[in-house]
């Protein structure tokens, strides 16, 4: 009698590392563990775990090349579970391969247990946090781009998404990106189980619709029975043998597979099985053929990734500007990006077709291989950067108009959950961009990035501080954001000035200062002009450049405010909510002898020349003079 293993080997002409029946039994055990853990938690998604059981079995015990002893091994194949609510199935696979003790899985979703409801990098086998649907494929693209183009290793990245999730536009941004760059080391698996949370998905089981769409994007697309380990093995082998284009495996599956009277039924999404648990478990246990220890082989990584060092990133040369000259901070950003790239081959820049406005094109001119054009698809842009940095292989700077980063805020907040070290640079902030009007004016960006946990928010005032901000950001853990201006601003710092995260800098002062002025970018420059005017009238105004909006220099603000009559005036090119003014107010909230007045953009602005718009909204020196005098009187 010819074994099933031999038959499949003959058809594939490639070795099957684990017996077919063992793979089937592993799939059943993944189902059992998913039910047991979600029942213990009395919450979770056992039915959606069941739909991917065979996919997980074949991937983790036959196809993927990785090391259980070293889950973060940079040479290994990677797996991204974009449909993060199926986390118990992923955890179960790591139980079966021996990394996680089975009793630990029974603490699923409990406070203090790292096996949370959706995966996060608190776990050593997770690269990124997932579960906000539509993001995993962009992250997989970033991982694969680095493996193929920078590490030059034979490693594949597998991304599993749900069919309901495929309705997210960000998925199709990523599908286009992956095809454009011929990332044939990406394998997308669509768990087409037909059912969404509240009703069937738009495509349901019409899998030819998915195939037609993917074919149109230039993918190698395959329709398979997602519960047939034989079909899955062949499909993954096909993917590994396909060169020049990525592969998508469209797997027809059923929610609650092998759950009697529950399979393919609505109303079970996100529910533990409750009183049905024992009945379903008894049925599943009866399906297992190999009752004892299962024998499987996990393939090892093929090629070794090079060692890299992304610490202590420095400018190749110091800033070289003349005080009083003018240059846009966005242009200084481009120059600084090249300088740090000259000192470290792992510095990369990503842009959304704005490189000639953000000046990231300077990096492309210096080294085209290290500039990744993501086109007008900001959600994918951010996701690719998170994927590119999540294994400490690159130092990534993402740049575009600051206003357009709001479109990708979900990706940015998930980046923080993923412990990402991506650096964001937003240009064309505030009304000072002028004629383009409100749709292009970032007036919410400081509030957005200040709200991200663990973020660092920098607002350099001139070209010198911008170059140093880029250098500091490259060495700062977590999400960083640098706000840069479109118009040119005067150089106010000496080239050898020392900048620190969380340390403000006094620009103008006298022993007789009566008010402390705080601004940022354009308004700081206008405040300097206003203070100079008032100095000629014998009125002392201290001017403070925060440099870092978060973490804010609380001690420096309070000290300088008290030395300036206890009065602070903040003028900013941002909406009142969440900007510099509110950051300063928070810093002095418990200080009784300091008064703060803030001026900001009060409503949706209009078009005009930069000078007209700044004057219209009261952000120019002549208006600031009056605000300062009023502050002194009050």
User: Are the CB atoms for 239 and 58 separated by under 8 Å?
Assistant: no
Q: Alpha-carbon distance 14 to 536, whole Å?
A: 85
Helix axes 378-389, 136-146, angle to 10 degrees: 50
Q: Alpha-carbon distance 233 to 221, whole Å?
A: 15
Closest alpha carbon to 619 in 541, 500, 517, 477:
517
Q: Alpha-carbon distance 87 to 175, whole Å?
A: 23
Closest alpha carbon to 494 in 525, 472, 458, 463:
463
Report the 10 Å Cβ neighbour count for 102. Answer: 12
The CA–CA distances, whole Å, from 374 to 309, 354, 371 equal: 25, 10, 9
Active site residues: 378
Q: Alpha-carbon distance 222 to 235, whole Å?
A: 7
* Token digits of residue 324: 């009083």
What is the torsional sign of CA 114, 120, 122, 124?
A: positive
User: What stretch of H or E contains 576?
Assistant: none
Closest alpha carbon to 138 in 402, 447, 418, 337:
418
Residues forming a β-bridge with 230: none
Burial label for 575, CB within 10 Å (0-12, 13-18, 19+), is buried
* Token digits of residue 25: 């039994």
* Token digits of residue 284: 């599943």
* Token digits of residue 6: 């031999």
Question: Could you tell me which residues come within 8 angstroms of residue 255 by beta carbon, excluding any fewer than 6 positions away?
Answer: 47, 48, 50, 51, 193, 194, 195, 263, 264, 265, 268, 269
The CA–CA distances, whole Å, from 554 to 293, 459, 497, 560 equal: 60, 16, 21, 10
Helix, strand or coil, per DSSP, at residue 429: strand
Q: Alpha-carbon distance 89 to 37, whole Å?
A: 10
Burial label for 136, CB within 10 Å (0-12, 13-18, 19+), is buried
Question: Could you tell me which residues come within 8 angstroms of residue 491 by beta carbon, excluding any fewer than 6 positions away?
Answer: 321, 322, 323, 324, 325, 326, 327, 462, 463, 464
């Amino acid at each position: 009698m010819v074994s099933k293993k031999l038959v499949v080997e003959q058809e594939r002409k490639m070795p099957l590392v684990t017996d077919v029946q063992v793979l089937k039994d592993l799939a059943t055990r993944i189902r059992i563990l998913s039910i047991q853990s979600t029942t213990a938690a009395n919450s979770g998604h056992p039915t959606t775990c069941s739909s991917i059981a065979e996919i997980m079995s074949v991937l983790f015990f036959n196809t993927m090349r990785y090391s259980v002893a070293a889950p973060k091994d940079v040479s290994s194949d990677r797996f991204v579970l974009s449909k993060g609510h199926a986390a118990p199935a992923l955890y179960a696979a790591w139980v079966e391969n021996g990394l996680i003790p089975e009793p630990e899985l029974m603490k699923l979703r409990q406070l203090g247990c790292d096996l949370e409801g959706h995966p996060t990098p608190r776990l050593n086998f997770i690269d990124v946090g997932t579960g906000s649907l539509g993001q995993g494929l962009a992250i997989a693209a970033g991982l694969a781009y680095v493996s193929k183009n920078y590490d030059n290793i034979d490693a594949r990245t597998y991304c599993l998404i749900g069919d309901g999730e495929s309705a997210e536009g960000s998925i199709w941004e990523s599908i286009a990106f992956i095809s454009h760059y011929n990332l044939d080391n990406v394998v997308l698996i669509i768990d087409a189980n037909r059912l969404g949370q509240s009703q069937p998905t738009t495509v349901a089981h019409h899998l030819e619709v998915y195939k037609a769409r993917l074919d149109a994007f230039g993918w190698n697309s395959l329709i398979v029975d997602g519960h047939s380990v034989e079909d899955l093995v062949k499909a993954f082998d096909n993917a590994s043998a396909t060169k020049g284009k990525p592969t998508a495996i469209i797997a027809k599956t059923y929610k609650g597979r092998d759950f009697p009277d529950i399979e393919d039924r609505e109303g079970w999404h996100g529910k533990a099985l409750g009183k049905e648990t024992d009945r379903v478990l008894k049925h599943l246990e009866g399906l297992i053929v190999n009752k004892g220890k299962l024998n499987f082989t996990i393939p090892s990584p093929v090629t070794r990734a090079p060692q890299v060092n992304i610490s202590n990133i420095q400018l190749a040369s110091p800033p070289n500007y003349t005080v009083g000259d003018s240059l846009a901070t966005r242009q200084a950003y481009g120059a600084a990006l090249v300088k740090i790239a000259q000192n470290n081959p792992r510095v990369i820049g990503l842009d959304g077709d704005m490189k000639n406005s953000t000046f990231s094109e300077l990096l492309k001119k210096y080294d085209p291989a290290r500039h990744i054009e993501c086109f007008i698809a900001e959600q994918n842009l951010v996701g690719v950067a998170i994927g590119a940095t999540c294994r400490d292989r690159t130092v990534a700077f993402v740049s575009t108009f600051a206003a357009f980063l709001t479109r990708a805020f979900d990706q940015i907040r998930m980046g923080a959950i993923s412990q990402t070290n991506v650096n964001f640079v937003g240009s064309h902030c505030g009304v000072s961009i002028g004629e383009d009007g409100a749709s292009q004016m970032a007036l919410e960006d400081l509030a957005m990035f200040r709200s991200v946990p663990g973020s660092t928010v920098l607002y350099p005032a001139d070209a010198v501080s911008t170059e140093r901000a880029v250098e500091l950001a490259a060495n700062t853990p977590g999400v960083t954001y640098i706000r840069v201006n479109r118009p040119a601003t005067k150089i106010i710092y000496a080239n050898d000035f020392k900048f620190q995260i969380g340390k403000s800098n006094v620009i103008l002062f006298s022993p007789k200062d009566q008010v402390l002025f705080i601004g940022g970018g354009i308004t700081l420059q206008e405040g300097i002009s206003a203070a100079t005017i008032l100095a000629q009238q014998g009125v002392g105004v201290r001017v403070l450049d925060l440099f870092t909006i978060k973490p804010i220099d609380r001690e420096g603000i309070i000290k300088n405010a008290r030395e300036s009559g206890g009065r602070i005036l903040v003028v900013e090119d941002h909406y009142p909510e969440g900007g510099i003014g509110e950051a300063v107010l928070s810093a002095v909230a418990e200080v009784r002898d300091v008064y703060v007045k803030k001026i900001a953009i009060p409503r949706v602005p209009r078009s005009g020349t930069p000078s007209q718009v700044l004057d219209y909204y009261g952000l120019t020196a002549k208006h600031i003079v009056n605000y300062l005098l009023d502050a002194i009187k009050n």
